[in-house]
Chains A and B, each alone.
Chain A
Amino acid sequence: DQQVKQNSPSLSVQEGRISILNCDYTNSMFDYFLWYKKYPAEGPTFLISISSIKDKNEDGRFTVFLNKSAKHLSLHIVPSQPGDSAVYFCAASAANLYNQGGKLIFGQGTELSVKP
């Protein structure tokens, strides 16, 4: 039962253009969402997050949008740079999961390639 899904395994974008990475979830109890960036053979690094009480959060070139009715979130990167090439994971959690150790539920990841 995949509660968090990233249906696009890969995405290729030209440098300077917008990258849009999508994530869908099924559990309506999720109340916090995070995006991580991961390079090969390294651990994920935190990128940006959003609480379910918001529908948008922005940090520099990165913006996350949350559509609760559609159970969908997206990460926008504008403008995209070659250094953004990595695997991006979305993750979700909920208050009841916090009582179970605060675990995160991860999507499968999307590999972004930004071409010069």
Chain B
Amino acid sequence: DSGVTQTPKHLITATGQRVTLRCSPRSGDLSVYWYQQSLDQGLQFLIQYYNGEERAKGNILERFSAQQFPDLHSELNLSSLELGDSALYFCASSFPLGGSVNNEQFFGPGTRLTVL
């Protein structure tokens, strides 16, 4: 158990819909990262937040957005869902010095999103 929790575990929805994925980092970790893992694209970094502020952006679509709240939990919002958005979405957390990504990250169990 990494100490990172994600809800829900599974999500099934229809195209065009909007969903919110939630992540609670390990106690004391200031950084939260979101990743998308699909069969054809592998594990792709989406976005990083550090202490409430966006720190780094990866291959995140404009239809997707995220935020980190004062209690450090984070939400990833996916809207106008398409079939190709079906994937495993992971959250990871770390306590990086200066907000750098160059530290060990602890991964949550993931949310499996299925878009029908």
A and B associate:
no
Residues of A within 8 A of B (CB): none
Residues of B within 8 A of A (CB): none
